[in-house]
Amino acid sequence: MKLLKTLTIFTSAVLTVCSASAQNYRLPGQHSQQHGDLIAAQSNHNLEVENTAKYLESLFAEEEEPEMDLYTEGWSSGFVNCYKNVDVPYSATIDVSKFSMPHPGYITSPYGYRKRFRRMHKGIDIKANTGDTIRAAFDGKIRITNYEARGYGHYVVIRHPNDLETIYGHCSKILVQPDQVVRAGDPIALAGNTGRSFGSHLHFETRYMGYAINPAAIFDFANQTTHTDTYTFTKDTYQNARNFSPEANAAYAAQYRATHKVEYSTPARTKSSAKSKGSTYVTVRSGDSLSKIAQRNGTTVANICRYNGIKSSTKIRPGQKLRVK
Ligand SMILES: [Zn+2]
């Protein structure tokens, strides 16, 4: 069943590749070769699909629970979503030719529905260390700079002249002011780990009149470029990635890790389970010594001393609580 679902997802990915081929590619031939290989790899048996799924899983091992949707669930949603009563066209062509990658990191969490967390991830998470420069993806004007403790942390929303908006979340520092005009590539913030985040990264969204487009429909993160000079927004397909190749993404992540000092963070799951594993406390009985307690609890006197900030010569008394694990 899982395989069947995966197969369906990839079938739609192949369809996307086909429909997108009407647009004008300006990528090197080697890139097209990758697409060809991808389609070839998917055309046959389940084994290939399984491999691809495994690739995906290993690639996004750092993935965390997606943020709430800033436009519909955030505290300041009224402020953020200014497109509530706007009639959004079925289709529109958006010029994305003058762009800058917001950050060169690899994708740690793609756009889309997360079964594990039962929610949509309306952007893409990009690996970034705290203090890394975040750049404006296109020319535009800063619409919002704000802080949301339960969600995006320090974030920036930029309005672009083509009705596209980009959002940059979990920043440690914001370098711009509302109404400031920026050029593609201008530094707008420093990456961080603020808000609902368990490790430094950039949460990046691309919106067309409020619709959260898959950033991988516009940007080719594995090749650090845009797919085409114009992006055609269509209500039916804006959630799809374009030419998405798990292999290319895995290769780019490996290359990035080899050439950058990457701060590794504790994944959210490990972090919360560390608390439930917790420490163990015992009550000292009369006649107890540190060595007796250590023996009874399968630890050492040295460990007990370290956990409780005491010396092995420290006198313990009945009724006293001691941490043993
Ligand atoms: Zn995110």
Q: What is the DSSP string of 284-311?
A: PPTT--HHHHHHHTT--HHHHHHHHT--
- Looking at 2.70.70.10, 3.60.15.10, 3.20.20.140, 1.10.645.10, the CATH number of the domain 59-268 comes to 2.70.70.10
Tell me the CA–centroid distance for residue 128 and ligand 1, in Å: 12
Element (H, E) at 95: strand 91-95
SS3 104: coil
Averaged pLDDT for residues 173-192:
97
CATH H superfamily, domain 279-323: LysM domain (3.10.350.10)
Whole-prediction pTM: 0.65
User: Is the predicted pLDDT of residue 194 greater than 90, yes or no?
Assistant: yes
SS3 119: strand
Return the beta strands (E) in the chain as ranges: 91-95, 107-109, 112-114, 119-121, 124-127, 133-135, 140-148, 153-159, 164-171, 173-174, 181-182, 187-190, 201-208, 211-213, 219-220, 225-226, 230-234, 281-283, 321-323
CA 79 to chain centre: 24
Extents of the domains making up the chain? 59-268, 279-323
Separation of alpha carbons 170 and 168, rounded Å = 7
Q: Max alpha carbon distance in the chain (Å)?
A: 84
Of the ranges 79-88, 209-218, 221-230, which one carries the lowest mean pLDDT score?
79-88
Tell me the CA–centroid distance for residue 30 and ligand 1, in Å: 30
Query: What are the percentages of helix, strand and coil residues in the chain, rounded to 5?
Result: 30, 25, 45
Structure tokens that stand for 296 in this block: 């009874």
Tell me the CA–centroid distance for residue 69 and ligand 1, in Å: 10
- Sign of the torsion angle spanned by Cα atoms 112, 117, 119, 123: negative
Averaged pLDDT for residues 76-100:
84
Tell me the CA–centroid distance for residue 183 and ligand 1, in Å: 24
Strands 321-323 and 281-283: antiparallel
Inter-CA distances, 100 with 134, 135, 254, Å = 10, 7, 22
Instruction: Specify the pLDDT at position 137.
Output: 98
Tell me the CA–centroid distance for residue 196 and ligand 1, in Å: 9
The count of residues in the chain is 325
CB distance 191 to 201 below 8 Å = yes
Separation of alpha carbons 106 and 109, rounded Å = 9
CB distance 321 to 283 below 8 Å = yes
Tell me the CA–centroid distance for residue 124 and ligand 1, in Å: 5
- Around Cβ 160, how many Cβ atoms within 10 Å? 23
Of the ranges 211-215, 251-255, 276-280, which one carries the lowest mean pLDDT score?
276-280
Q: Which residue has the higher pLDDT, 154 or 10?
A: 154
- Sign of the torsion angle spanned by Cα atoms 170, 242, 254, 51: positive
Nearest Cα to Cα of residue 209 among 235, 188, 228 = 235
Separation of alpha carbons 32 and 39, rounded Å = 11
CA 172 to chain centre: 16
Confidence of residue 325 (pLDDT cuts 50, 70, 90): confident
Separation of alpha carbons 241 and 25, rounded Å = 16
Averaged pLDDT for residues 61-89:
73
Tell me the CA–centroid distance for residue 71 and ligand 1, in Å: 14
Residue the block writes with tokens 């309306």: 122
CB distance 180 to 95 below 8 Å = no
CA 83 to chain centre: 25
Tell me the CA–centroid distance for residue 67 and ligand 1, in Å: 6
Read off the pLDDT of residues 215-267 as tens digits, 9 standing for 90 and up.
999 999 999 999 999 999 999 999 999 988 888 989 999 999 999 988 765 54
Q: What is the mean pLDDT of the chain?
A: 80
User: Is the predicted pLDDT of residue 47 greater than 50, yes or no?
Assistant: no
Tell me the CA–centroid distance for residue 205 and ligand 1, in Å: 8
Tell me the CA–centroid distance for residue 116 and ligand 1, in Å: 14
Tell me the CA–centroid distance for residue 88 and ligand 1, in Å: 25
Tell me the CA–centroid distance for residue 318 and ligand 1, in Å: 51
Tell me the CA–centroid distance for residue 161 and ligand 1, in Å: 24
SS3 15: helix
